Amino acid sequence: MTADLIGLIVGTLLTLLVLSYILGDNPLYRLALHLLVGATVGYGVAITTVTVLRTILPALQSDSPDRVRVLIPLILGILLLFKGFPRWSAWGNFSTALLVGVGAAVALGGALVGTIIPQTAAVGSLDIWLREGLAGLINGLIVMIGTICALLAFAFAAPRQPTLRRIWNGSVGVLGQVGRLFLLTAFGAAFGMALTASLTVLVGRVYAVVIGVQQIITAVGMGGG
């Protein structure tokens, strides 16, 4: 019995245990769930430790300027460990501030350059619309209208003056309702796509079980014969 066959048997059994949730919460499902969580956490800790040590230790042993470059993150990382002790947690504030500040700055910069500006430009880009002909134009118009209406759906304020309020409710309010329809459609599509992804996984696991059982029977039959 090879390791692949053992892995196939274990994988098949664990799949069946997970699928037993269709009958409700039960100890078999709990067992498979705990095994998955435990294995994932253990594997993550091992990967993180190996990765960090593999990155830091060679740099510290070398005589290159990388030694200093690694030393500073190492000190910041050690200071970050003090966060686990309430009495000494202040020592990790600088590391935390550095992480949060750098992370926010990088994320914000990337969002501006990579998402907000290009997407805003793409919504109103007639060139992009006409790239695919009439369908592209219609699609572009729908995208633009849907985007504007979806944004107006979150306009909860209104002017105090009755006249302006009536105008606001007649324009922004209606567009906001249209935007809510776009949002509902988007949420429905997202749910459908998520369901499709889940069904794909289910189909893959069912096929894996069927194929695994066939292979196990074949392997046991071959071993027995």
Partner 1 sequence: MIYCPKCGTANRQGSKFCNECGTPLSPTGVRCPMCGAMNPTGNLYCDRCNARLIPAERVSPAEEKPERPSPPKGISLPSVPLDKEGWLSELRAEAEELDLLPEEEIPDWLKGLEAPAGPPAPEAPPPEAAIPEWMAGLEAPAGPPAPEAPLPEAAIPEWLAELEAPAGPPAPEAPLPEAAIPEWMAGLEAPAGPLAPEAPPPEAAIPEWLAELEAPAGPPAPEAPPPEAAIPEWMAGLEAPAGPPAPEAPPPKAAIPEWLAELEAPAGPPAPEAPPPQAPPPEAAIPEWLAELEEATPEASMPAEKPAPPLADIPVPPSDEIPEWLRDVEFAPPTREEPSLRPPPIVAVDVHAGVPPVVPTTVPPLLMGEEELPVTAPGEIPDWLKEAPEKEAPKEAPPEFGGLVPAEIPEWLRALQPREAVAVEEEPAEMEGFLAGLRGLLPIGRGLDMPATAQPSLPRAPSPAAVARAELLQGLLSRPLIIPPTAETREAPRKSIWLLTRFLVGVILLAAILLPMLVRLPLFGPPTAPSAVTLFATVDQLAENTPVLVAWEYGPAESEEMDRVAGPLIEHLLRREARLILVSTRMEGPAAAEALIASRLADPSERSRRIVNLGYLPGQAAGVREAIGNLDGRTEATTGLPVSQIEAMAGVHSVADVGMVVVLTAQPDDLRTWVEQVSAANPNVPVVAGVSARVELISTPYLAAGQLKGMVAGLIGGAVYEQQLDTGRGREYEYYLTSLGTAQMAIAALTVIGAFIFLVGGRKR
Q: CA–CA separation, 180 vs 176, rounded Å?
A: 6
Determine, following the binding rule CB under 8 A, whether residue 26 of this chain makes contact with partner 1.
Answer: no
Question: Which range binds partner 1 by CB under 8 A, 83-91, 156-164, 174-182, 198-206?
Answer: 198-206
Taking the mean position of all CA atoms in its chain, how far away is CA 203?
22
Phi, psi of 209 (to 5 degrees): -65, -45
Question: Which range binds partner 1 by CB under 8 A, 87-95, 115-123, 154-162, 215-223?
Answer: 115-123
> In the numeric block, which tokens belong to residue 148?
């504007």
Determine, following the binding rule CB under 8 A, whether residue 207 of this chain makes contact with partner 1.
Answer: yes
Q: CA–CA separation, 158 vs 148, rounded Å?
A: 17
Q: CA–CA separation, 207 vs 218, rounded Å?
A: 16
Q: Which member of 103, 133, 159, 170 binds partner 1 (CB under 8 A)? A: 103
Give residues 146-185 in contact with partner 1 (rule: CB under 8 A): none
Nearest to 206 by CA among 62, 7, 11, 47: 11
Q: Which member of 4, 10, 34, 48 binds partner 1 (CB under 8 A)? A: 48
Q: Are 182 and 149 in contact (CB under 8 A)?
A: yes
- Minimum CB separation of residue 51 from partner 1 in Å reads 5
- Return residues touching partner 1 (CB under 8 A): 19, 22-24, 40, 43-44, 47-48, 51-52, 54-55, 58, 66, 99, 102-103, 106-107, 109-111, 113-115, 118-119, 121-122, 128, 139, 143, 186, 189-190, 193-197, 199-208, 210
